[in-house]
Structure 1
Amino acid sequence: MGGNGKLHKWKISIYRSPSPSSSKSKHKHKEPPTEYVCPISGSLMFDPVVVSSGQTFESMCVQVCRHLGFAPLLPDGSNPDFSTVIPNLNLKSTILNWCDSSRTERPRLPDYSSVETTVRALMVSAREDDDDSKIRVSERELLKGVAENPPVLFSHAATELNHRANHFYSSSSEESVIANVQSTPLLPFTTRPMCFSPSSSTSNSSEVAAAETLNPNSISEDEEFVVKLKSLDVFEQEQGLIALRKLTRMKEEARVSLCTPRLLSALRPLLISRYDAVQTNATAALVNLSLEKANKVKIVRSGIVLPLIDVLKGGFAESQEHAAGALFSLAVEDDNRTAIGVLGALQPLLHSLRSESERRRHDSALALYHLSLVQSNRVKLVKLGAVSTLLTMVVTRIGDMAGRVMLVLCNLAACAEGRSAMLDANAVEILVGMLRGESESESTRENCVAALYSLSHGSFRFKGLAKAARMEEVLREVEKRGSDRAREKAKKMLLMLRGRDEEEGAAEEVDWEALLEGGSSRTRYRVGSSMCGANSTEF
């Protein structure tokens, strides 16, 4: 009996010993997989969404971050892009199935206020980490910079907008890219928006010192700018933007080194800020960054085009000027044109052509010119009714825009959809009327001839419209006194019109006498004075 009792106790001990480990394994099994947990809230996701940069977050967390203009630093060292959000229904279903199988409570819709508290705590923590890192790394350099460069107080009024260069407003800007008049320098007109003003030789030295004081030894470092732009203090944001705007205006080499994904991510939410000074300086700084060819594709891929379009639609007046200039500058790059058109910039740019601001009108027209070099954008513009809008501007001469509007019309006339729309809108008579007048510049007249030349291709309606508008006499005048390119196109159109007249004049004649005598039809064709025998097999 005693032996059996000991054996019984031993069995009980063996039976009970694994029970703690088994409970632990069950507990571990209930821990949700990492991919089911939001990186921001640390909880199971109720409504998972995929953002532009590829990560998955709780929808409410993304909404709060967008409202606060904050992008948390992820474990891999990157910052997420919240510009586009796509629901991840597959992952949501997977999370619910996992909850049911593991007997875990399903996630509930998170409260906005609690998520906001969490995000604000992350913002404070990120700011403290940035400040600590900045002090540890560059304290000695900053002290040295302060000793060498006395601190200068930044002022929002002391920006390049108060002393814009006048050469972008000269008559040379009327020269078109198509005209390509050699006597006119076209580089500033074709590559830089009117809202940009390069630093002059008489720039205030205190402004240079002010821009360099922020980072005296290495302007390529974006750390200090990012800290200021992400600050919760609006005044700090404004001061950082003013410094960035001045530095990128005066130092071309700084534009490439500062145009990093991190800085663009910090700059993007400030473009749609409700504060005038913040939005204006943010869009102006973006114009400066976009001037460098190496930055153009990078900026478009950072998701900045959509905020720019929002500014162009309903931003502050000066910010709208800069937004139009930035879109023009970005559209100069071939690889950006299709993307900008797809993202919806064409309609706001068309609307901006009627703006009261001269800079906004001109930069919008040039943006449309570069965008309309792509066939897909030409078709979109035609569907948006751009032809009638542009021809109306040519007729009414709104804001002296004829030269730039003609650039866009020449591009539209190069596609079948554009030619059809222009012929329907009586473009032939309008363009001939412009050539008949004497008030247009030489480049505008040349672009009128180029547009008519494009309209004359592949259209049977063109000849009748040209006759009605008495175009031949105008072309003869252009052939005598126009530029070389205009004379060449006018000569080709005259030959084409005269050739068609001769073809129509070659009427088919029937030899009725031979028909009655021989019972067969003998047809003679007259081309000039030559005759061709009936039923001839020679063509």
Structure 2
Amino acid sequence: MRSTVEDEEPQERGLAAVRSLSAVLGEISGISDCRGPLRRMYCDLARRVKLLSPLSDELKDSACEELIGEKEVGALSKLLDVLVSTKEFLRSVNDGSKLYQALQWERYTKKFQDVTDQIEKALSALSYNKFDIPEEVLEQIELVHAQFQRAKERMELPDSQLLTDLSLVRNGNFDHTVLKRLSEKLHLRTINDLKRESIALHEMVISTGGDPEDCMEEMSTLLKKLKDCVIGENPVLESLDNQTCLMKHRSPVIPDEFRCPMSLELMKDPVIVSTGQTYERSCIQKWLDAGHKTCPKTQQNLSHTALTPNFVLKSLIAQWCEANGIEPPRRHGNCRDKKSAGHSDCDGAGINALLEKLRSRNQEVQRAAAGELRLLAKRNADNRVCIAEAGAIPLLVELLSSPDPRTQEHAVTALLNLSINESNKSSIVSAQAIPKIVEVLKNGSMEARENAAATLFSLSVIDANKITIGTAGAIPALIDLLCQGSPRGKKDAATAIFNLCIYQGNKVRAVKAGIVVHLMRLLNDPSGGMVDEALAVMAILASHHEGRMAIAEASPIRILVEVMRTGSPRNRENAVAVLYSLCTGDLQQVTVAREAGAEEALKELTETGTDRAKRKAGSLLEVFRRALDS
């Protein structure tokens, strides 16, 4: 017999893959509909992928059973990789240049076929019989699989009129009728559409490091012709254009995107740096010549110092100048200090002074400095970057052990605010903060404990940290806060526990720490406002056999059935998920559930519940029927 660790290893990886699979499908479902020449292929692919969502929902539960092996994990991981690539491809099409897509029709058609083929192969590698998937879901997935099989053999035919019109304009025929048809076909019908197209072309220049396919000039010219066509079709815009002479006597407002972020002046020679930001060439060159290696606007490190001309933006600025009756700028504006262009109150010298105060031996000085950093880190994203880069994190971690309760509160809350920045999360963990945060969670003031719980939740977003936080002893302390904290503290504790228990090993820790008894108490006290959180945690614990055993011993079926009848849609979904886990393979629990009136509640749920609740309710009714037949 293999060890428990060996048994759980593929299961852990399978669960991680299924969770990621569900998240990716959710992201794909959230991508908006595409317009433009690739709309049909885009919509067909997105629709088929979205139909895989019920599969991921069911895999969440069946993957929790001890049936999953290395082969299944490999197949799930392959499907995940393919869907991640699909998501990025769909997003690139949705956000991309419609002009470029039309010009590169054959390339995109081939890419759609390749993506379809990869998904079909990944689905073929899944052994559905290894998972406990309801028949109706299995039938849907088989139908979707068949659609992918047919689609990979089918070549989408191009729009012949579109290709003809593109050929005409590429040969210099800018007939108004042709341009109007192109405007309709490419969904570039309004000024806003054309602005989005110009941004897409701009992004393409950045990603390719220059002129993609040597057709940027051609696309810029066509974009200008389409803009003239759109203005000609819109009398309001045309009348504005005809009022140029009036505008000469006024100072037009320069659009923000036409101003250099450093000088705040209209750009004459816009260039792109490696972070994707655009600056006036002379200003950014002076910045680089001064020895700076970061992007002035984002503070990100520059991967290289090459400057790429932003042809599209330069063309748009010229058009704007012409439309407003002003001469393009002939001189570069003076570069102002970058701080004058930003909205951050981040002051490097001031932060360094606060860090010196953190090192002070005077407790009051330390407390005041930690409090000020706490407020600065809360205020905005720029401050969080500046404070971390100045080296504050190790000093704040050290103050977590301060004998002064208020200093400790300030330090843990400052770390909470800093952890909002993704990069800072790893810096906080690298500074060995987790054991000290857990110590604050155990022994600090109530405010410090609650903010420590929120900090642990923030850090646990990174999967590797879930294990570190669990082994540091956080879960029993979080359960104590769940019982003793303020309403806000209880919710922070429950959220942290839920997130930590995504990792199987932490489920065991929570069960052994006696969490189920406390969850039952919260479920039986709706006035406490913790029913939602208690059910969510119970649902995730029920996916582990030790969790199921502990929940069954607490006799929760009566309250679960009541929630299924009267709870919120989300709570009804979680209640039926817990009941499904309890009753599957346990005739005694089935009997108790039927006696508690679960069948009537389940039938109602199949009609009025969320999609997942309907599926769970239907599957549980099938469990009841099989139990009666046996």
Q: 1:493 Cα deviation (Å)? A: 0.9
Aligned counterpart for 2:558 among listed residues 429, 434, 446? 429
Residue number in structure 2 paired with 1:494: 621
| Secondary structure, counterpart of 1:353 in structure 2 | helix
Query: For residue 481 of structure 1, what is the amino acid of its counterpart?
Result: T
The 8 Å contact of residues 280 and 316 in structure 1, kept in 2 or not, is answered as yes
The 8 Å contact of residues 584 and 623 in structure 2, kept in 1 or not, is answered as no
Deviation track 1:464-494 (CA, whole Å, cap 9, x = no partner) reads 2222322111111212222222122111111
Deviation track 1:9-67 (CA, whole Å, cap 9, x = no partner) reads xxxxxxxxxxxxxxxxxxxxxxxxxxxxxxxxxxxxxxxxxxxxxxxxxxxxxxxxxxx
Deviation track 1:246-281 (CA, whole Å, cap 9, x = no partner) reads 221122133244336953221123223232431221
Aligned counterpart for 1:215 among listed residues 349, 369, 385? 349
For residues 14-413 of structure 1, the aligned pairs below 5 Å read 212=346, 215=349, 223-259=352-388, 262-397=391-526, 399-413=528-542
Rounded to whole Å, the distance in 1 between the matches of 2:347 and 2:381 is: 17
The 8 Å contact of residues 211 and 246 in structure 1, kept in 2 or not, is answered as no
Rounded to whole Å, the distance in 1 between the matches of 2:527 and 2:465 is: 29
Query: For residue 416 of structure 1, what is the amino acid of its counterpart?
Result: H
Matched, 1:471 2:598: yes
Residue number in structure 2 paired with 1:457: 584
The 8 Å contact of residues 587 and 627 in structure 2, kept in 1 or not, is answered as no
Deviation track 1:401-422 (CA, whole Å, cap 9, x = no partner) reads 1101111111100011111111
Rounded to whole Å, the distance in 2 between the matches of 1:424 and 1:277 is: 42
Q: 1:257 to 1:465 in 2, by over 3 A?
A: farther
Rounded to whole Å, the distance in 2 between the matches of 1:431 and 1:499 is: 21
Rounded to whole Å, the distance in 1 between the matches of 2:608 and 2:592 is: 24
Runs of 5+ unmatched residues, structure 2: 1-341
Rounded to whole Å, the distance in 1 between the matches of 2:397 and 2:415 is: 9
Runs of 5+ unmatched residues, structure 1: 1-207, 217-221, 505-539
Deviation track 1:109-140 (CA, whole Å, cap 9, x = no partner) reads xxxxxxxxxxxxxxxxxxxxxxxxxxxxxxxx
Query: For residue 616 of structure 2, what is the amino acid of its counterpart?
Result: K
Rounded to whole Å, the distance in 2 between the matches of 1:233 and 1:264 is: 19
Rounded to whole Å, the distance in 2 between the matches of 1:387 and 1:316 is: 26
| Secondary structure, counterpart of 1:215 in structure 2 | helix
Rounded to whole Å, the distance in 2 between the matches of 1:355 and 1:388 is: 14
Rounded to whole Å, the distance in 1 between the matches of 2:584 and 2:385 is: 44
The 8 Å contact of residues 461 and 499 in structure 2, kept in 1 or not, is answered as yes
Q: 1:414 to 1:334 in 2, by over 3 A?
A: same
Deviation track 1:431-464 (CA, whole Å, cap 9, x = no partner) reads 112223x3x3221122111222232334343322
| Secondary structure, counterpart of 1:319 in structure 2 | helix
Deviation track 1:292-348 (CA, whole Å, cap 9, x = no partner) reads 222223322322122222222221222222112111111222111011000000001
Residue number in structure 2 paired with 1:102: none
Q: 1:393 to 1:291 in 2, by over 3 A?
A: same
The 8 Å contact of residues 353 and 362 in structure 1, kept in 2 or not, is answered as yes
- Is the radius of gyration larger for structure 1 or structure 2? 1
Rounded to whole Å, the distance in 2 between the matches of 1:381 and 1:479 is: 32
Return the TM-score normalized by structure 1.
0.50
Matched, 1:484 2:607: no
For residues 523-538 of structure 1, the aligned pairs below 5 Å read none
The 8 Å contact of residues 210 and 243 in structure 1, kept in 2 or not, is answered as no
When the two structures are aligned, how many residues end up with a matched partner?
A: 289
The 8 Å contact of residues 606 and 614 in structure 2, kept in 1 or not, is answered as yes
Q: 1:231 Cα deviation (Å)? A: 0.8
Deviation track 1:153-212 (CA, whole Å, cap 9, x = no partner) reads xxxxxxxxxxxxxxxxxxxxxxxxxxxxxxxxxxxxxxxxxxxxxxxxxxxxxxx99954
| Secondary structure, counterpart of 1:373 in structure 2 | coil
Return the TM-score normalized by structure 2.
0.43
| Secondary structure, counterpart of 2:349 in structure 1 | coil
Q: 1:306 to 1:329 in 2, by over 3 A?
A: same
Residue number in structure 1 paired with 2:326: none
Rounded to whole Å, the distance in 2 between the matches of 1:267 and 1:412 is: 34
Q: 1:354 Cα deviation (Å)? A: 1.8
Residue number in structure 1 paired with 2:570: 443
Rounded to whole Å, the distance in 1 between the matches of 2:477 and 2:526 is: 20
The 8 Å contact of residues 287 and 329 in structure 1, kept in 2 or not, is answered as yes
Q: 1:210 to 1:227 in 2, by over 3 A?
A: farther
Residue number in structure 2 paired with 1:65: none
Q: 1:373 to 1:419 in 2, by over 3 A?
A: same
Query: For residue 475 of structure 2, what is the amino acid of its counterpart?
Result: L
Query: For residue 246 of structure 1, what is the amino acid of its counterpart?
Result: L
| Secondary structure, counterpart of 2:586 in structure 1 | coil
Deviation track 1:192-237 (CA, whole Å, cap 9, x = no partner) reads xxxxxxxxxxxxxxxx999545636xxxxx6434322111122321
The 8 Å contact of residues 211 and 244 in structure 1, kept in 2 or not, is answered as no
Rounded to whole Å, the distance in 2 between the matches of 1:458 and 1:228 is: 62
Residue number in structure 2 paired with 1:139: none
Q: 1:215 to 1:441 in 2, by over 3 A?
A: farther
Residue number in structure 1 paired with 2:95: none
Q: 1:393 Cα deviation (Å)? A: 1.3
Moved over 6 A (4+): none
Deviation track 1:324-379 (CA, whole Å, cap 9, x = no partner) reads 21111112221110110000000010011122412211110000000010000001
Rounded to whole Å, the distance in 1 between the matches of 2:367 and 2:463 is: 33
Query: For residue 557 of structure 2, what is the amino acid of its counterpart?
Result: V
Deviates more, 1:469-478 or 1:479-488: 479-488
Bigger RCO of structures 1 and 2 (CA < 8 A, at least 6 apart): 1
